[in-house]
Structure 1
Amino acid sequence: MLALALALPATVPARAFADVRGADEILGVTVEARGLPAAACPNVTAAYALVMTEDGEVLFSRDGLAQTHIASITKVMTAIVALDAGVALDSTVTVSQEAAQVGESSANLWAGDTLTLEAAVTGLMVSSGNDAAIAIADTLGEAMKTDEGQTANEAFVAAMNAKAAELGMTETLFANPHGLDIGQYDNEMYSCARDVALMCAYAMKNETFRSIVAKESAQITVKRADGKPVVIDLESTDKLLGTYEGACGVKTGYTEAAGNSFAGACDRGDGMLFAIVLGSPSEDARFEDAKALFDWVYNNRVSYALAHSPATVASAAQGGAEVPLVAQVSHQAWPGRTVAATFADPKAAVEVFAPEGNVSQEIVANELTGAVAAGDVVGMANFYQGNELIASQNLVACEDAPAPSIFEGVAIWWNRLWGNDEPAPTVIVNETPLIYSKSPSREDQKSIAAIAAGIDDEPAPAASESGEDGSAADGSNQ
């Protein structure tokens, strides 16, 4: 990596390769083992990072199982337990003196306030209210107590840890419902990027939770101790909402021990992604890190065209239209004769995730001995990324090829007895351009990806008739 960095032009912006580590994992394999250039990897400044699909596939991980503090990201689990408790959203939550005085990030609740559970969860998630977290735990925890000596808050936290175990969050321990880790709240607590992703993926399946964390701002109504209703304006701490395409939640976090952290969700209509960054060096850096992870995934979802031929041919099976020449398939019955073939669907493409590796093809031609009509299947092409089959296409003839007459067949047979008139070999013309090269340049990677997607400004030459043309800074826990 050092040699690569030294080789980069001085004009490359400082952040271009800000922090790419050989031990970072892409689909479970380290960057170093994959031999990927830095330009092909996400660069994030966070100490711990991970990006995961909604199906649980981890695309990128940096120390994803390392235990660390997660500050207010804890509140995602508080919301999960509250919404899974089976309590009506319009049920009443009461704000205790402890809740009102907890300090740090707040939903501006006062002791004696009452509000609906939905409003409390909104204050919890939108403005990262520590007061709302304790109010929820105190209220709902009463029904969760398992013995007389247990407080409502303790019972609620026990339910949080039970839910974490249920979700497979093996590296997680919660000690309170808000994530503060100083003073009276300085107890053993931890989680990891992988567990946070699992937690967020579960939470975002809940429609109420999903609608709340998508809000850039919100209003909640609380009833003060004197019975008067008060409307409280809330602003989200999630700076990606409304500024980054597809951003839809979920939670920020900051304490001195946790650093600047963010668990973000993004959905552009092709499945939700979760980007987890823990321990970023600044408030802005956590959002830049999340964007870098999202961008990396979206930029590496390549629509890979199967036909990449330097030549075209007129296909009688498609009314004389020009199509990519995929192969010249040997016609065994004739000496030196081939049949031009293309794919059954010349425009076929398959979506691939580029870091999984370059695409290879295996084309197997049929043994042609009789008459061939344009459109007949004359072979099969299989495409692989790594060892996985990702696409298949039939090869179809672009032209008619009659079989030899009886007399022609006898003459060919006789000549072959003497070692003459041998069949022409099958020639594969189609190519599989690289998705990634070893080049450290981001521009080179973009160019290669464009070629793989079939974006090529150069017109392809026509095939010859002979078929021989080719192969937060304020200390809060927001």
Structure 2
Amino acid sequence: MMAASLALTIGLNPHTAEAAVDVNASASILVDADSGKILFADNIDDQLPIASMTKMMSEYLILEAIDQGTINWDDEVSISDPVRALSLKIDLSNVPLRQDYTYTVEELYQSMAIYSANASTIALAEHVAGSETDFVQMMNDKAGELGLESYSFVNSSGLNNSDLAGNHPEGTEADAENELTAKSVAQLAYHLINDHPEVLETASIPELEFQAGEEEVIQMQNWNWMIPGVNAQHEYDGADGLKTGFTSGAGNSFTGTASRDDMRLITVVMGAVTRDDRFDETAKLFDYGFDNFHEVELLPEGYKPDGEDVIPVTGGKENEVSISTSEALSVVVKNDEEELYSPEVTLSEELLNEDGEFVAPLEEGQEVGEVQLAYNGEEDVQYLYDNRSNSTPLVADQAVEKASWFTMSMRGIGSFFSGIWTSVSDTVTGWF
């Protein structure tokens, strides 16, 4: 890509950043769910146990399998002997599962997403991949595909392998636990919400019945106390997900998400002291995000870069083409910092010759580059992914057809005689 910086600047007024929120946890992060822009970060690169937040990856793979048609919501799921035994451990988060009763993918998924049912998660893993061992391989493969920076998945549920009574996935240690960094957990949540937004439909259910047997009904209350209808002390306006977690190694952890005024935030809190703390610290992050940031449209659809809105074209019926943005660009900015962003144009190198001209032909609406909003403030702006930024595509406003051989010849002849005339004119002028 060849950068061409615009002369236009939307102002440079330094803004003193307010003190960041103080989060009492081992690690924490706050992210804009649309762009992946990091709004707050503390100790986000240390790999730590994540407990049942693991189930976000299991949810991703299950929802992906549904989309791809490899499994269906009404599929009946077999309950293996180890799954049956695990489901009866009342000291772990579970719904009891029978081998003489029928459960669907949807029912087990609901128990996993709402009640964090561990045995249900393993049953679904076996249904998707044939075995939990193969499912764990899928989890690690998907983590790499999604670009998670640091991860180690050893089982599908988030339990410590020692809780699985020797039935942990092959190739993993008997006391191993799933570990990610806070940044990687946020990356996973970012993909889950954006690739499979339907996850929030289930994650936001406050309470649901699970039919464990003919006459056995389990009342499942959501472990996420921030969604409406679960816990009045921790209920948070706009909260609708996502996943809690606890083991002795991980402490109390929580990946949250909430939406207000068309701005959705993602939070991760790892290693809080108590269950209440993980929600209290999350509320601090949400408050900081919603109080100090807002989404604003800085460039409208059809914006023409000042001084760079017309680009020369070679080999075409026309000698130039106008360009503009194909869609508006809205970004999340800190309050009173709108004027610290300036547009910069980048043209697609593969469409340019050595002289920086487009080479015909070009189609109307063809993407020819992008406009990126550069931040000119004092704070370090980062994203979950380096290749994500505040940018919008630039397109050609008109088609430029390739000129015929005759047209190019005439242009060449015209240029030749024009050059002779200019030379003669300069000579004559020199006589006088």
Asked whether the 8 Å contact 1:99–1:135 carries over to 2, the reply is: yes
How many angstroms apart in 1 are the aligned matches of 2:144 and 2:178? 14
In structure 2, the partner of 1:384 is: 339
Alpha-carbon shift at residue 285 of structure 1 (Å): 0.7
Task: Write the deviation string for residues 142-173 of structure 1: whole angstroms up to 9, x where unpaired.
Answer: 1xxxxxxxxx1111111111111111112011
Matched, 1:296 2:276: no
- Kindly tell me: are residues 63 and 79 of structure 1, through their superposed partners in 2, closer, same or farther at Cα, counting changes over 3 Å? same
Quick one: which of 58, 64, 79 aligns to 1:95? 79
In structure 2, the partner of 1:307 is: none
Quick one: which of 27, 48, 62 aligns to 2:42? 62
Matched, 1:166 2:158: no
Structure 2's unaligned 5+ residue stretches are 1-14, 167-173, 229-234, 297-329, 345-376, 379-432
How many angstroms apart in 1 are the aligned matches of 2:277 and 2:159? 21
In structure 1, the partner of 2:154 is: 175
Alpha-carbon shift at residue 207 of structure 1 (Å): 4.4
How many angstroms apart in 1 are the aligned matches of 2:203 and 2:180? 21
- What SS does structure 1 have at the residue aligned with 2:284? helix
Alpha-carbon shift at residue 141 of structure 1 (Å): 1.7
Matched, 1:241 2:196: no
In structure 1, the partner of 2:371 is: none
RMSD over aligned Cα atoms: 2.8
- Kindly tell me: are residues 46 and 112 of structure 1, through their superposed partners in 2, closer, same or farther at Cα, counting changes over 3 Å? farther
- Kindly tell me: are residues 281 and 388 of structure 1, through their superposed partners in 2, closer, same or farther at Cα, counting changes over 3 Å? farther
In structure 1, the partner of 2:257 is: 265
Mapping of residues 158-237 of structure 1, within 5 Å: 158-183=137-162, 184=166, 185-187=174-176, 189-205=178-194, 206-222=196-212, 224=213, 228=214, 230-237=216-223
Aligned partner letter, 1:83:
L
Alpha-carbon shift at residue 351 of structure 1 (Å): 8.9
- What SS does structure 1 have at the residue aligned with 2:179? coil
Q: Which structure's CA Rg is the greater one?
A: 1
- Kindly tell me: are residues 188 and 281 of structure 1, through their superposed partners in 2, closer, same or farther at Cα, counting changes over 3 Å? closer
Alpha-carbon shift at residue 109 of structure 1 (Å): 2.4
Quick one: which of 80, 92, 105 aligns to 1:117? 105
Task: Write the deviation string for residues 384-406 of structure 1: whole angstroms up to 9, x where unpaired.
Answer: 32x6479xxxxxxxxxxxxxxxx
Aligned partner letter, 2:205:
K
Alpha-carbon shift at residue 36 of structure 1 (Å): 5.0
- Kindly tell me: are residues 269 and 110 of structure 1, through their superposed partners in 2, closer, same or farther at Cα, counting changes over 3 Å? farther
- Kindly tell me: are residues 113 and 80 of structure 1, through their superposed partners in 2, closer, same or farther at Cα, counting changes over 3 Å? farther
- What SS does structure 2 have at the residue aligned with 1:199? helix
TM-score by length of 1: 0.53
Aligned partner letter, 1:62:
D
In structure 1, the partner of 2:56 is: 76
How many angstroms apart in 2 are the aligned matches of 1:96 and 1:286? 34
- What SS does structure 1 have at the residue aligned with 2:187? helix
- What SS does structure 1 have at the residue aligned with 2:236? coil
How many angstroms apart in 2 are the aligned matches of 1:35 and 1:105? 46
- Kindly tell me: are residues 73 and 303 of structure 1, through their superposed partners in 2, closer, same or farther at Cα, counting changes over 3 Å? closer
Structure 1's unaligned 5+ residue stretches are 1-33, 143-151, 305-349, 360-382, 391-434, 437-478
How many angstroms apart in 2 are the aligned matches of 1:256 and 1:207? 31
Asked whether the 8 Å contact 1:50–1:277 carries over to 2, the reply is: yes
How many angstroms apart in 2 are the aligned matches of 1:389 and 1:296? 27
In structure 2, the partner of 1:31 is: none
